[in-house]
Amino acid sequence: MAGKNGVIYTKQWTVKLVLDVAGYTSDLPLWNKVVVEPSCGHGSFISEILDRLIESAKKDNKFDENNLANCIIGYELDKESADITRSVVFKKLVSNGMDITEADTLAVKWIAHGDYLLADDIPCDYVIGNPPYLRATDIPAKARELYCDRFSAMTRGCDIFVGFIEKGLESLRNQDGVLSYICADRWMQNQYGKKLRDLISKNYHLDTIIRMHGVDAFETEVSAYPAITRIDKQVGKIKYADCEDSFGCEDVKELKRWLFDIKEDYSGQHFSAMMLNNPKGNMVIPLSKPDKIKNILDLMNKFPSLEDSGVKLGIGLATGKDDVYIVKSPDLVEKERMLPMFNMKDWRRRGNTDSNWLINPWNKDGSLVNLSDFPKLQLYFENHKSDIANRHVAKKNQNAWYRTIDKINWQILGEPMLLFPDMAMNAAPVYSDGSRYPCHNCYWLVSKKWDIKVLGGLLMSDIAESFIDALGVKMRGGTKRFQAQYLRLIHVPSPDDISFETAKELKIAFEKNDRDAASRAALVAYGLES
């Protein structure tokens, strides 16, 4: 778990690896470089940075206040932690022979108590550290507004490290500048990372990703999906390594040998590695075991996306106040204002959704109904006005205070469809005849080109799920997200290219909920059978 202000302390072997990936090594004239540490904590990164700086400076006879004055810039939001880091710096300088006065001057100059994200930009050669693990909902509202105004890639839904990445990249002063962080890798795949991915694609180079999910890299248990990431201004491919849970300090030497010498597909004792092409624009970055990534990229090159194959997809209806709009009785208001709903939670609990109904304020032309035309509906909404008139969507248009957040997509109603839950361990599409409109807790797929049950068999297969595994964000414990943004990344054979027999096998497998049979038939459909 994260501590105060999202602080998580990093084990020393991990700190050393982050610095090695950055190229901040004592064989260089570090006394002639500027390194920024944006979130010092208790000084784990600053301590290792200083060890390397001292070694470099002593070797070149530069170990004095004058030569080292501008070498380190550290920020810490918590005053007590900033004082601890200054003490670490002071003691290390003095123990290496520096005058007490000079050491104190440098410790005070180097470590600032303040908010890195709002500090003045200082041109530097390296930005290195472990940004806070602070989710969007945990950022103080006033600070979040300031950050969003300041950084183009940061939205109100972003975790705070997005700002730390953008700020760090902006401060790199020359073509050789490097940012090296250990932080969550979710920005590489999720919606709130799109702007950051686009920014990096246009102006920088994603050089290294060392995926460390489950690795014992921190002083406390972390569920933040960390990766060591290096971004610079060079050109080339991404060096990508996926570490097993058992990866530890004894594996670092082998990993560095691959990073700096081998740079081709490699299988180590506790990690596997490959070279990846840098994605264009805001495309997601595949994160999985390298052999899975290779297979997925190959299939993406050979087959059309779901949408290109003739599938439409989207999310179910959001109301903004489910306990008012979605009810268990079909008789609360006029019959024509009651719409049957499919609720994925009820389906998973009981295997049916027959008891869910929407109090429907929409006409089929997309306009809101006139409440005076439906006395029961009007009375119902008036009785619940205090619950629904204060929603953001209602405040934007006070005359439409009784609307749901989303309008109804009447075109999908009555169409056979597949429904995916937002989160699940495995790909498990549910068939619906379309008589019930999907709630916001599931994603729908309809098609005029596909037999929807054949598509269901394909999408419950191991192959289809591997797209979500590699290209979609996963929750703690391996739960996958089946949101529309990730379903769109699945590539499938064209329905016209699947033989009658294979299509029949996929359909039967779907109807029987036989994942193994679906996976076998999918291998044939993709042309991957041995």
Q: In angstroms, rounded to a whole number, what is the distance separating the alpha carbons of residues 440 and 421?
A: 9
pLDDT(26) > 50: yes
Residues 326, 320 contacting (CB under 8 angstroms): no
pLDDT at position 349 is: 67
Q: Where exactly are the structural domains of the chain? A: 4-287, 312-525
Reading phi first (left if > 0) and then psi (alpha if -120 to 50, else beta), residue 366 is in: left
pLDDT at position 350 is: 61
Assign domain 312-525 to its CATH architecture: Alpha-Beta Complex (3.90)
> 3-state DSSP: the chain helix, strand, coil percent, rounded to 5?
40, 20, 40
pLDDT at position 223 is: 55
pLDDT tens, 492-514?
A: 999 999 999 999 999 999 999 99
Which one-letter amino acid corresponds to residue 120? D
Q: In DSSP terms, which residues pair with 307 in a beta bridge?
A: none
Residues with Cβ within 8 Å of residue 206, at least 6 apart in sequence:
200, 229, 230, 231, 238, 278, 285
* CA-wise closest residue to 59 among 88, 25, 109: 25
**In the predicted model, what is the mean pLDDT of the chain?**
92
Class of domain 4-287: alpha beta
* CA-wise closest residue to 392 among 408, 407, 405, 406: 405
pLDDT tens, 219-249?
A: 665 556 899 999 999 999 999 999 999 999 9
Q: In DSSP terms, which residues pair with 430 in a beta bridge?
A: 419
pLDDT(168) > 80: yes
Let me know if 349 is exposed, middle or buried by CB neighbors in 10 A (0-12, 13-18, 19+). Answer: exposed
pLDDT(1) > 50: no
pTM value is 0.86
β strands within 433-512, DSSP E: 437-438, 442-447, 480-481
The interaxial angle of helices 462-471 and 515-525, nearest 10 deg, is: 90
pLDDT(480) > 50: yes
pLDDT at position 216 is: 86
pLDDT tens, 402-439?
A: 999 999 999 999 999 999 998 888 899 999 999 999 99
Over residues 316-332, the mean pLDDT reads 94
